[in-house]
Amino acid sequence: MSDKKSIEELLKLLAMGGEEKQEDPQNTEKHKFWSTQPTVKYEEASKIAAEGPIDKIKTPDQVPNNPLPLIDQFEWCTVDVENDKELDELYKLLYDNYVEDTDATFRFKYSHEFFKWALKPPGWRKDWHTGVRVKETGKLVAFIAATPVTIKLNKSKTIIDCVEINFLCIHKKLRNKRLAPVMIKEITRRVNKQDIWQALYTGGSILPTPLATCRYQHRPLNWSKLHDVGFSHLPANQTKSSMLAHYALPNEPKLKGLRKMEEKDVKEVLELLHKYQERFEIVQLFKEEEFKHWMLGQSGESNVIKSYVVEDSQGKITDFYSYYLLPFTVLENTHHDDLGIAYLFYYATDAEENYKTRLNDLITDALITSKKFNVDVFNCLTCQDNSFFLKDCKFGSGDGYLNYYLFNYKTFPMNGGIDKETKQVIDDKSSGVGVVLL
């Protein structure tokens, strides 16, 4: 976000000769695993002739019935996310061992409600919440999850029933023991047993081969708190009060007819979204039940997912947006112990000639409504049509990148909303990526 960061980035780019390289010392180990998997090889990526599955077609009965062998002291388990005690174990594993930012000052502050929303969409399966325990003590030391998702590739009109892979986490003391490949192969086996052969996943590190790369974007809402915790820096030519003024927002949303989305809106909003998504190359197709789950949560008001619609004077829904809330715990700060974070999720509008203005108004209202939920920074990526509002809505580029991957499927590379060389946002251009993962 700061000037310092952009200089750092430039130096890094210079040092790498403009190429993104693996700085991971395990690059070769990683390669040893990924080169055995049905993914696009780096060299192939630029010369893909046709889209389609990579492995030859199989049937579930050709897939082994038994789990992969594990190192002796460990055993497979399923984590029962309907059991509070097991949810607490998952919380502890992830809190202590899931991805951290580079300075280890922030950790995801999960809640039971977040886990249930993220892990139990319609069609969820217990055995897709795969864990590893220490045999002797029962301690949970690794986890990986698959959830069902249907994607559509708009160019070829291909619809694929696949899974999303998320929450891969291995206890810090078990790192470098080659456990991740075993976790990935085991979840693959369990998914294949259900006659599903493709998976969608994202990650910060570069593996063979991203279908698109997006960049983190942040819109400060509570600039002074972000400054206090060391996330935002004061630019040389600014004062604290000029920063506050720059990021100030009205208290009330400005779109006439804006209201919370309700269950009765599900069908109409879903139609609006599916129509809207025709502009992207890869999108998520929802069944009504799935859309209800993802936009409204379990039952009653959700503290995790927030969805709003704009209803015109004829009662027609013209726009909608959604975001999920997943705060960070802030470690070792004298003034603050958490940071409220919203992540932009799905949105749509039927606007055409005033498209850019409408998107800007819509996302401005997303920012405004999120302040009620103690959001300090509103995050999104450079995917979807975000580059139409990032600048005017005062988002700034962060130092994180998110790579999108498809397992066992070749696609032409897609635009992730940033320039390949400079990594800067490309303004006012649709990205290819219309699917949003948590």
**Which one, of 45, 54, 53, lies nearest residue 208 by Cα?**
45
Which of 402, 406, 425, 433 is the binder for ligand R64 (CB under 6 A)?
Answer: 402
Number of H helices, E strands in the chain: 10, 16
What count of other Cβ atoms lies within 10 Å of the Cβ of residue 256?
A: 9
166 or 370, CB closer to ligand R64?
166
- In the list 400, 412, 413, 426, the residue contacting ligand R64 (rule: CB under 6 A) is 400
Residue from 216, 308, 401, 409 that binds ligand R64 (CB under 6 A)?
216
For residues 214 and 431, the answer to whether their CB atoms sit within 8 Å is yes
Is 48 one of the binding residues for ligand R64 (CB under 6 A)?
Answer: no
- Which of 257, 396, 398, 413 binds ligand R64 (CB under 6 A)? It is 398
Other residues' Cβ atoms within 10 Å of the Cβ of residue 315: 8
- Residue closer to ligand R64, measured from CB, 106 or 291: 106
**Residue 347: which of 339, 334, 358, 332 has the closest Cα?**
358
Q: Is residue 87 among the annotated active site residues?
A: no
CA 49 to chain centre: 29
Q: Which of residues 224-243 bind ligand R64 (CB under 6 A)?
A: 231
Scanning residues 315 to 334, which ones bind ligand R64 (CB under 6 A)?
326
Are the C-beta atoms of residues 342 and 375 closer than 8 Å to each other? yes
Structure tokens at 364: 């401005």
Q: Which of residues 18-47 bind ligand R64 (CB under 6 A)?
A: none
Query: Which of 100/288 has CB closer to ligand R64?
Result: 100
Looking at residues 132 to 171 of the shown chain, list those that interact with ligand R64 (rule: CB under 6 A). Answer: 166-167
Does position 212 interact with ligand R64 (CB under 6 A)? The reply is: no
Under rule CB under 6 A, residue 379 binds ligand R64: yes
Cα–Cα dist 12/216, whole Å: 17
Told to check if 304 binds ligand R64 by CB under 6 A, we report no
Alpha-carbon gap, residue 194 to 188, rounded angstroms: 10
Q: Min. distance of Cβ 420 from ligand R64 in angstroms?
A: 19
In angstroms, what is the minimal distance from the CB of 324 to ligand R64? 8
**Rounded Cα gap, residues 107 and 101, in angstroms:** 8
Write down the least CB distance from residue 181 to ligand R64, Å: 20
Of 392, 375, 403, which is closest to residue 428 (Cα–Cα)? 392
Query: Contact between 286 and ligand R64 (CB under 6 A)?
Result: no
Choice from 144, 187, 212, 377 touching ligand R64 (CB under 6 A): 377
Least Å distance, CB 68 to ligand R64, is 24
Task: Tell me which stretch binds ligand R64 (CB under 6 A): 26-34, 48-56, 259-267, 376-384.
Answer: 376-384
- Do the Cβ atoms of 201 and 179 come closer than 8 Å? no
State the nearest-atom distance from the C-beta of 81 to ligand R64, in Å: 13
Minimum Å gap between C-beta 125 and ligand R64 is 18
Closest to 329 (Cα-Cα) out of 100, 172, 6, 113:
100
Q: Give the distance from CA 35 to its chain's centroid.
A: 25
Q: How far is the CB of 417 from ligand R64 (least distance, A)?
A: 12
Nearer to ligand R64, 269 or 330 (CB): 330
The contact mask relative to ligand R64 for 82-121 (x = CB under 6 A, - = no) is -------------------x----x-x---------x---
Give how far Cα 220 sits from Cα of 2, 176, 243, 345, 369, Å: 12, 37, 10, 17, 14
Q: How far is CA 100 from CA 137, 204, 332, 342, in A?
A: 27, 11, 14, 17
* CB-nearer residue toward ligand R64: 101 or 427: 101
Q: What is the dihedral of CA 389, 395, 399, 403, to 10 degrees?
A: -30
Taking CB under 6 A as the rule, does residue 425 contact ligand R64? no
Calpha distance 112→117 (Å, rounded) = 9
280 binds ligand R64, rule: CB under 6 A: no
Interaction between residue 405 and ligand R64 (CB under 6 A) = no
The 3-state DSSP class for residue 395 equals coil
Residues with catalytic function: 438
Interacting residue ranges for ligand R64, rule: CB under 6 A: 101, 106, 108, 118, 166-167, 216, 218, 231, 326, 341, 343, 377, 379-381, 398, 400, 402, 438
